[in-house]
Amino acid sequence: MTLFKGAGVALVTPFAEGNVDFPRLAGLLDWQISSGIDSIVSCGTTGEASTLNDEEHINTVKFTVEKTAGKVPVIAGAGSNDTAHAVFMAQALEEAGADGLLVVTPYYNKCTPKGLIKHYEKIADAAGIPVILYSVPSRTGVNISPSCVKELSQHPNICGIKEASGNMSQVVEIARYVSDDFALYSGNDDMIVPLLSVGGIGAISTVANIMPSETSQMIHKYLQGDTKAAMKLQLEMKPLIDALFVEVNPIPVKAALSMMDKIKPEYRLPLCEAENLSLYDIMNQLRNYKLIR
């Protein structure tokens, strides 16, 4: 059931003149795979899934599956605050060829823990591919508590969680509750090594968009027992990670990729271009890491 170990990139969705830029997406996918990334997460938060219509969402995942050609697992971002729509998308993305689903918590409704469990069970029952829970309360207003994770981890089709609460105490509690075959992934780039230290097996990462090789190396060094080298990489990357979150994700990381000439600096409203001060910070960090001149 484990979909991957190591670094999964929460890939951006490039746009050109308002549409998904498939040629640029192809270039990103080739670069990520040649750099040693362990998994591609398509149409997640960083992929601006919230402003993709269903057809664009499904086609982007399908294109990603076809382009990667089985070289790495493709995990499709999914989820909704409407359980029926979440089920529809889960089945459509499975049909598009995704190897697994990353299912964000329902937002806005702010359901009870009982409703949250029922929501995920309904999706997992309907899907024929593994489901990874995605807890990011800063964006959705809904947290998956350790007790909910414990119960949901018993479902045969729920294989792990992307934990992006930013609360290490909660991460530790989740690690206490789940079995060794339940995958724990970091959703916070500045907490990857700390999460690995309590049994995590990888990350679904934003910084991997611009440093795929280094992010994968950091995680694999830790998993192979070279904890000092992994810790060194984590600390060295911290200023760059901070720059990538100087404004709401994915505004800074798309700006960075644009500076690296990999995509156009295009967003969908209500997201928009970064402020000049933010761009200056991002550019300085890219220069510090020799990612641009």
Sorting pLDDT into bands at 50, 70 and 90, what band is 103? very high
Residue 65 has pLDDT above 90, yes or no: yes
Parallel/antiparallel/unpaired status of strands 183-186 and 39-42: unpaired
Residue 169 has pLDDT above 90, yes or no: yes
CATH number 3.40.630.30 given to 6-224:
no
Nearest to 253 by CA among 289, 277, 286: 286
Model confidence, pTM: 0.96
CA–CA distance, 293 with 290 (Å, rounded to integer): 7
Q: Mean pLDDT score of the chain, rounded to an integer?
A: 97
Which residues are marked as active site? 134, 162
Mean pLDDT over 241-258 rounds to 98
- How far is C-alpha 242 from the chain's CA centre? 17
- How far is C-alpha 26 from the chain's CA centre? 18
Sorting pLDDT into bands at 50, 70 and 90, what band is 1? confident
Mean pLDDT over 238-247 rounds to 97
Q: What is the pLDDT of residue 29?
A: 98
CA–CA distance, 175 with 165 (Å, rounded to integer): 14
Domain ranges of the chain: 6-224
Residue 28 has pLDDT above 90, yes or no: yes
Q: Look-up: residue for tokens 């992994």?
A: 230
Mean pLDDT over 258-283 rounds to 97
Sorting pLDDT into bands at 50, 70 and 90, what band is 110? confident
Mean pLDDT over 225-245 rounds to 97
Residue 266 has pLDDT above 90, yes or no: yes
Residue 230 has pLDDT above 90, yes or no: yes
Structure letter (DSSP) for residue 76: E
**DSSP tally for the chain: helices H, then strands E:** 12, 10
